[in-house]
Structure 1
């Protein structure tokens, strides 16, 4: 009788398993037919969400590109202004005839001693770049009080 009970139990387990399998298969068929699963959102919502995400990604990419372009423009402008400042500092020193003779160095913008030393070194290596200051009498132009009075036409006519 123990064998019979055991056999009956096995049959019931098998029948129960087949019932569960049939229910799972029926549920899968229903899902395939309707396209709906419990707990899932509507596929239309998924599509619109995906489109919105794609648009957000495109917008963010465009904004990033615009910001990079602006940063490049600002960097170019900053470099140009740094070069102009360097030339102005060299010209203000007055020891070089042409401020562009001293190559740009960013350290010169912050350290006036380094700028002065660089100008002195350049003049020592190339004395022809030194500013020429003409002083003294070069023998040209008006001199002293050898001025003649302006001509008086009335006296000339009267004789």
Structure 2
């Protein structure tokens, strides 16, 4: 799997998300400032609620914008066994039920699932618990993760 293709797909998804959120910000701002939403008494909170929504949407838009910046500057490096798994690694994990899962370790803000043909690749940040557990590991290593008060063990099958 080509890491630059994965990066491009993440960038496209983030750009789509940003466009949708910016439209939602515009709609929420319009609702918050529309003359019909001016409060007539202290119990009339429609305009206030729309303003809160617009603020939240604007924060989400800024977070996506920052993720786009990080992902544009991101240069995935080839895997080095001497350094172990680092940012930019494509990792295949095996769980206790013999199920395989592919993980692409990227910068913040790109947490998503990508489907390319028959392959499913989970994009996570190195800040995510699994991302932190993977850092420095190598092929054949075991990763232990606490999920919902249950300990999950994963084996690193391969890294690219």
Q: Could you say which TM-score interval applies, normalised by the shorter chain?
A: under 0.3
Larger gyration radius, structure 1 or structure 2: 1
Higher helix proportion: 1
- Scaled by the length of structure 2, the TM-score of the pair is 0.23
- Scaled by the length of structure 1, the TM-score of the pair is 0.23
